[in-house]
Amino acid sequence: EIYCDNAATTALDPEVLNAMIPYLTNQYGNPSSSHALGQKAREAVEESRHTVASLLNASPNDIFFTSGATEANNIALSGAIRTYDVSHAVTSRLEHKAVLQTLGQYSQEGELDVSFVKIDSKGNIDFEYLENLLKFNAQSIVSLMHVNNEIGNLIDLKALSALVKYYDGILHSDTTQSIGKYRIDLQELDIDYLVGSSHKFHGPKGVGFIYINKYKKVKPLIYGGAQERGTRGGTENVAGIVGLAKALEVSYRDLEKNHNHISYLKSFFIELLTNGPIKNIRFNGESFSEDKSSYSIVNVAFPHLKHGGSLLDKLAQLEIYVSGGSACSNLTQSGSHVLKNLKVHLDRDNVRFSFSRHNTPQEIRHVVKVLNQIYQEDEGIAKSKLL
C-alpha cells in the first residue's frame, strides 16, 4: 500500500496523537467552565492559539479556530462581504469549491459581482489583467489561493498582496495547501484573511483556523456563545485544536528537512517517469516546474490505456493511492473543474500525485515501476489484439 494522496489528507503524526490524548481522556473540561477542569482546557486552547500565531508571526488575537478550511473560507468571504458591504470580488476559476460556491451564492443572490482573472493554459494568473480589474473596481475582495490543490501551482503572495493593497482591496488567500509547507510571515505579508486545515499537515480532521488581520473584522457565520471571541460560537474542539497546533509546530520544526526530502521525491518521480517507457507524458498546470509549483504536488496527464479502463482504478487495485482531482470534486461526479478550466489534456488520464514526509524514494521507484508495467502490459494486449 503506497499513499501518494497527501493533498487530500495526511496521516496523523504520532507526536500529535500523543499531545491530543489527554484532551480525549481525563482533561475533558469545557473551556468556558470556570472550574479547574474547564480552565485546564482553556489553557490548552489559548496555548495552541499562541503556538499557531507565533509560527505565522501573527498575534494570538488574530487566530480563530474553526472546523476546517471550508468553514474558514466561508467565514472570511461571507464575513468580509457582509461586514464591509463589498460588491465586487475577484477570483480565479481554479479556486477550491469552498471559495467558488461561497462567492457564487452571493452572486446568485444579486449581492455581488464576481470577476474571474485571466489564466493561461498552465493556470498562471495574468497579473496585468488582475490589475485592470482592480483599477476599475475600488475596494474589491480578492480571493486567490497560494497553492492549487489539484495542479500545485504556486503564486507569489507578496507580489499579490502589494498589488491588491495598492488598489485598496481586501485580500483573502486559501492557504490550505501551503500552511505547514511554506514559511508564512504575517508581519511581512499584508494579507487580510488566510486559512489552514490541520489534516493537510499531519494533524486531525475537522479542525482548522482563520487568521484575520487586526485591522479587519468579520460578522460571524455561526451565531451562538462568545467562543472564539464571538466570531464562531460553539464549544471548542479542544483535542483537535491541541492537535492542530502540535502538527503545525512539528511541520515548521523540520520544514527545511521536509522541503528538501519531498522536493527530491517529486523530482525523482518526474525524472524516472520522463525517462521511462511510457510515451507522451504531459504535465498539468505548472506541476513540472520547480519554482512555479508546490514541491509536493505533481499532476500528470497520461495517455489513455489502449485496452480501456481507467488508470486510477488500476493503480487503486494495486494499492497505490492517488487521485484524479480533488477528493471533494469526486463527490459531485462532474470531474475536475480545475482541469476543465485549463482546457488541455482532458482527453487523458489525469492523475495527481501528492507526496509527504512519510514517502520514500523506494516508494517512488515502485510507483513508477507499476505505472510502466501497466502501460507495457496494455501495449502487449493491444498488440496481441492486432494479430
| Residues near ligand PMP (CB under 6 A) | 68-70, 96, 98, 145, 149, 174, 176-177, 197, 208, 326, 328
CB 25, min distance to ligand PMP, A: 25
Rounded CA-CA distance 75/68 in Å is 11
Identify which of residues 96 and 261 has a Cβ nearer to ligand PMP in the complex. 96
CB 71, min distance to ligand PMP, A: 7
Identify which of residues 138 and 328 has a Cβ nearer to ligand PMP in the complex. 328
- Enumerate residues 6+ apart whose C-beta is below 8 A from 161: 171, 189, 190, 191
Q: CA nearest 298: which of 310, 286, 313?
A: 286
Long-range contacts of 106-109 (CB under 8 A, 24+ apart): 106/77, 106/78, 106/81
CB 12, min distance to ligand PMP, A: 14
CB 99, min distance to ligand PMP, A: 7
Estimate the share of the chain in helix, then strand, then coil, as percent rounded to the nearest 5. Answer: 45, 15, 40
Q: Look-up: residue for cell 496585468?
A: 128
Rounded CA-CA distance 352/299 in Å is 4
Q: Which residues are catalytic?
A: 328
CB 352 within 8 A of CB 324: yes
CB 211, min distance to ligand PMP, A: 15
Report residue 252 as a C-alpha cell: 515548521
Closest residue by beta carbon to ligand PMP: 68
DSSP 255-318: HHHHHHHHHHHHHHHHHHHHTSS--S-EESTTTT-SSSB-TTEEEEEEPPPTT-S-HHHHHHHT
Identify which of residues 354 and 371 has a Cβ nearer to ligand PMP in the complex. 354
- Enumerate residues 6+ apart whose C-beta is below 8 A from 13: 202, 203, 246, 247, 250
Identify which of residues 96 and 337 has a Cβ nearer to ligand PMP in the complex. 96
CB 174, min distance to ligand PMP, A: 5
User: In angstroms, how far is CA 381 from the centroid of its own chain?
Assistant: 39
Identify which of residues 213 and 296 has a Cβ nearer to ligand PMP in the complex. 296
Rounded CA-CA distance 379/383 in Å is 6
Identify which of residues 99 and 371 has a Cβ nearer to ligand PMP in the complex. 99
